[in-house]
Structure 1
Amino acid sequence: MHTLNAENDRIDNWADTLMSRLGIRLISASAQSTLAEMPIAGNTQPRGLLHGGASAALAETVASHAAQIHAHSLYGEAGVAVGVELNISHIAPGRGDWVRACATAVHLGKSSTVHTVTITDEHDQTLAVARVSNRVLHN
């Protein structure tokens, strides 16, 4: 679906994944801050509002991508980040064309990461806030 340069790490393996099916597009990426957007169309519940599960998947995606970049910075290609906890609070309904998620690092350690994720709509209204923890592994 997308290819980023080495500075943002690789995501050329997103084809045929949930991220591709949800239409998530990575805008910028680093271990400290990762930003992505996702269309609302196709990611709604029956009432036409953004599905909470789609918001949760978006939050985990941006935080885990940031954690993966951190794992690679520590351990090279042997570094892997795996999600261990996701907590999300839905604040407002998602309407419109797209939402944007920004993951901000709270903790970047040798064996774990924690990111807060804020999901906003195209009018910068906060729709959800999440906390995502990842375990950093290496071979």
Structure 2
Amino acid sequence: MQSSKEEFLARINKVSKDTLMETLEIEIVDYGDDFLIARMPVTSKVHQPDGVLHGGATAALAESVGSFASHIFTDLENYFVRGLEVTANHLKSVKEGFVYAKATFLHKGRTTQLLDIRVTDDDDNLISICRLSTISLPKKK
């Protein structure tokens, strides 16, 4: 029998079917009261031509985990969430293995949210530092 955490992770990963997250094999792997972690395999599918992780794939990972975090902590019955801006500073190259993106809130406002996303490799080396701002807008009744 799965624990509630495993069930939750399975449920949120299921919504990634037929999306960019599925294409890039991004998977949510852990969460807590103030964070969400996703991982992505580093293969030729996400390489730039010289054989290292493409910055755009890293930005897609960061936006995916940050957006998921905003969704999880928002009243989705009454609001929808959209990304406003993503930035990424790439500090180190990766050729293989996995990269992990940990999203934490810097600001969790009623309307806008700002997330810090740290991308690390299998050895916990810092690969990129990203920021994502999102907005929660009321659904029309």
Q: Per the shorter chain, which TM-score range?
A: 0.7 to 0.9
Aligned length: 133
**RMSD of aligned residue pairs (Cα, Å):** 1.9
Any idea what SS the aligned residue of 1:58 has? helix
Any idea what SS the aligned residue of 1:10 has? helix
Structure 2: which 5+ runs fail to align?
Answer: 1-5
Seen in structure 2, the aligned counterparts of structure 1 residues 57 and 113 have a Cα distance that, compared at 3 Å, is same
Seen in structure 2, the aligned counterparts of structure 1 residues 45 and 7 have a Cα distance that, compared at 3 Å, is closer
Structure 1: which 5+ runs fail to align?
Answer: none
Bigger Cα Rg: 2
Is the contact between residue 100 and residue 119 of structure 2 (CA under 8 Å) also seen in structure 1? yes
Q: What is the TM-score when the length of structure 1 is the normalising length? A: 0.87
Seen in structure 2, the aligned counterparts of structure 1 residues 10 and 98 have a Cα distance that, compared at 3 Å, is closer
1:46 positional shift: 1.0
Partner of 1:67: 70
1:37 positional shift: 0.4
1:8 positional shift: 8.8
Distance 2:79 2:11 in 1: 12
* 1:116 aligned onto 2:119: no
Partner of 2:3: none
Is the contact between residue 38 and residue 98 of structure 1 (CA under 8 Å) also seen in structure 2? yes
Distance 2:10 2:77 in 1: 14
Partner of 1:40: 42
Partner of 1:95: 95
* 1:21 aligned onto 2:13: no
**Which runs of structure 1 show a deviation greater than 4 angstroms over 4 or more consecutive aligned residues?**
6-9
Partner of 2:53: 50
1:12 positional shift: 2.5
Is the contact between residue 102 and residue 119 of structure 1 (CA under 8 Å) also seen in structure 2? yes
Seen in structure 2, the aligned counterparts of structure 1 residues 7 and 37 have a Cα distance that, compared at 3 Å, is closer
